[in-house]
Every structure is written in structure tokens, then in C-alpha cells.
Copies of this chain bind each other. A is one copy, B any other.
């Protein structure tokens, strides 16, 4: 593990512009950790940034679903965020950085750091003169003071890159639980949208013991994957003339009254409107964190919310303290036979990162992984 003087990273310099650049690899401070990146999944957010840099981050090294091996540990650091010793050679993942003192939301709402004004994670940090290795789409990552980090040595490379999206799904389940949803073995649950997060959501619910899972999507291939991730029933909305027909089909699977709960994972506002028609009185909906503002939709507050006493909640990212839950979920999911690692359908080396993005944009496969190299 000799550390080179220079290392490479994929820098997004503007919309659709990525360059592999070489930067000097600075010495770490006493509260920092140097990590050699192994691999990182491509997220919808990455592609969203790649397409249009909507947050104005460029230049930026993207990649937040990553993992790597510890090369050097600052002398003040003895353990990871849950108290495990951390030493060179350990395999790690990272979650949120500490919130700033100035944010009034996280202050005195200990469970809401994810809603902070300045939620920060590696892979979505702007480039700085002395901090280039800020994302997992590079050969190295420097973990700065005030970060969360987790030693996960006993997990395969594939599962480690899935911890971040697993945390998104696990957080959504916790959100549903926290808003009073009745979620037990008999609950009938819809997952609307079978992209990577929707598939993860199905696996989370299956692992949680839900016995009736209904997946909705417009893509037969994705619905096939949905079955592998635990969906008992699948509905291709293109097979129905409209939402009323689709709702009828759901009713046919739910004793004529609709599902108890629905997770909306499409990111499409009209899909949110439609989902209300498939949920029974007294039921609930969770709008799961997607990262793009898709605009408005129409709902009827009286018929959709009040008269049916529907509870709707949102789920945004996750908190650092939820990473251990995602880790245990992935272990459990594999143990009950869900093929989690198979969600990673494509792999590209770092210097083919633009091809990785292009594959994601073509909606080929499920998870695209970028490997930082030998």
C-alpha cells in the first residue's frame, strides 16, 4: 500500500463533460482517513448532474454509492461511527457528513439531520483547491473530519456498493412506520416504479415480512426483476386503459378495497395522483426520495385525503445512524434468497465512466458499477 504522489479522478466540468484528471494526493490530517476506492454505483442523481449540473456543483467528482479500502488513518481516529476499530486494510463505506451549526432544522430535531439545509455526502461536494478526492468516481477518497464512516469488512464488494441505495429503501420503510402505517405480515403493499430504488424497496418489504407485494411499472423487464425481488403480483400499467382500470386490477388483488399502503418510487407526479385510487380507506402512501423536481400534479383533498383518512408521507435520503440498518437488511435479504448482488448488471472501469452514464441513461440493466481499478 504505498501511496502515489498523484492519482486520478473523473471530474464533471459541466453538462455532459467528464474528464479524467490527475491531482496530487495530499497528506491527510490527524482526523482524516485515506481510502483507495474499489467501486461505486451510478445513481440517478449522478446522471442528473451529468446531464445538466442542476445544483451548479461543477467542477465536481461524483460518486456516492462507493466503497474502498482504508490506506491510512489519522492519528486521532480510533474507531468508526459505530465504535468498531478502524485500521488500514479495512473495507469502508461513508454516509452523511455532520450538519452545520447554522441549520435550524437539524438543531434539536435529532432524527431530521437528513432534512438539513446543507446535507453533504461524498460524491456531491464541490471541488476545492486542497480537496479534490471528494467522490467515489476517483482512485482515492479523503474522508475529512466530521464525516461518518463504517467498517464493513464482512461484505462483498457488490453488497457494499448497494448499502447507500439500501439505506434509501430502509429509510422509506422507517418513514412509513413512523407515520402510523399498519405494516404487518398481512398488509397488502404496492410498490409503484421498479427502477433501482423501486426494486430495492420491494426487497426491503419482502425481507420485512410483508406477504402481499404488488409491483407496478410500464416495463416488462423491470417487472420480471420485481418478481425476483419479491413481488407476488405485477401490473404493467400500459395494459390498462387508465387509472380506473388499473385501480380495478389492484382491487381484484386486495379483497375489493385497495392496498393498505403504497410506495411511490417513480418520480412522476401523475403517478403520485394515480396511486391514491389504489389505496384503501385508512391506508397510506410514501413518496420516496427521488432527486428531480418533476413538477405538479392534481389531488382532491376531500376525496383522496380527508374522506378516506389517507396518510401521505415523504422520504428523503437517510440519516447516518440508519446505515447499520441498511447493512443488516442486505445480509438478511440474501439469507432469505433474494439475489441482491444481481442488481449490479454492468461494470465499467473508471476511464469508461461516460459509457457507464450512457448505459444508465438508456435504462439498460439495473445498477451500473464503476470500478476504480487494480
Best-buried of A175, A184, A288, A302 by chain B (most CB within 10 Å): A302
A13 within 8 A of B: no
Known contacts: A174-B184, A328-B186. The answer to whether A314 contacts B307 by CB under 8 A is yes
Give the number of times this chain occurs in the complex, counting copies. Answer: 4
Q: Would A309 and B313 be within 8 Å (CB), given that A112-B282, A328-B212, A337-B337 are in contact? A: yes
Chain A: interface residue total (CB-CB under 8 A):
79
Q: Does A303 contact B (CB under 8 A)?
A: yes
B residues near A314, Cβ cutoff 8 Å: 301, 305-311
Q: Nearest B residue to A292 by beta-carbon distance? A: B302
Complex Cα gap A331–B281 (Å)? 26
Q: Which of A133-141, A153-161, A319-327 contacts B (4 or more CB under 8 A)?
A: A319-327
Question: Which chain B positions have C-beta within 8 A of A320?
Answer: 108
Give me 17 A-to-B residue pairs in the complex whose CB atoms sit less than 8 angstroms apart, sorted by A's number: A82-B255, A108-B320, A109-B282, A112-B282, A115-B309, A173-B184, A184-B325, A185-B207, A207-B209, A212-B328, A269-B301, A290-B306, A293-B300, A293-B303, A296-B299, A311-B312, A336-B336
Q: A residues within 8 Å of B by Cβ?
A: 81-83, 102, 104-105, 107-112, 114-115, 170, 173-175, 178-180, 184-186, 207-209, 211-212, 255-257, 264, 267, 269, 272, 280-282, 287-290, 292-303, 305-316, 320-321, 324-329, 331-332, 336-337
